[in-house]
Amino acid sequence: MHRQLATLLDFGPYYGKNLDALWDRLTTDVPRPVHLVWTAAAASRAAMGAFAFDRVDRVLRRVADRDADREPAKRFTYELG
């Protein structure tokens, strides 16, 4: 999951591959707008386990909630697919 996001959102070579680093990158370094759709979320949940999946999902939702009041061109949005 970290590898996929780092590649898709160009986190660079120094990404820490943990949830704190994910929060930091998504809230400070990723240019907006971003609309992230986690396709095959059920398969990811099964592969990662519910605990790990829920923790990542929570970070992504918090980032989206943080941007909710911004104009559309400056938002991170997220949905499960």
Which tens digit of pLDDT belongs to each residue from 13-64?
999 999 999 999 999 999 999 999 999 999 999 999 999 999 999 999 999 9
Torsion angle (degrees, nearest 10) of CA 48, 52, 54, 55: -150
Q: Is the preceding omega at residue 13 within 30 degrees of 0, hence cis?
A: no
How far is the first Cα of the chain from the last one, in angstroms, to the nearest whole number? Answer: 15
Do residues 79 and 64 make contact, with C-beta atoms less than 8 angstroms apart?
Answer: no
Question: What is the pLDDT, as a whole number, of residue 69?
Answer: 98
Model's pTM, two decimal places?
0.95
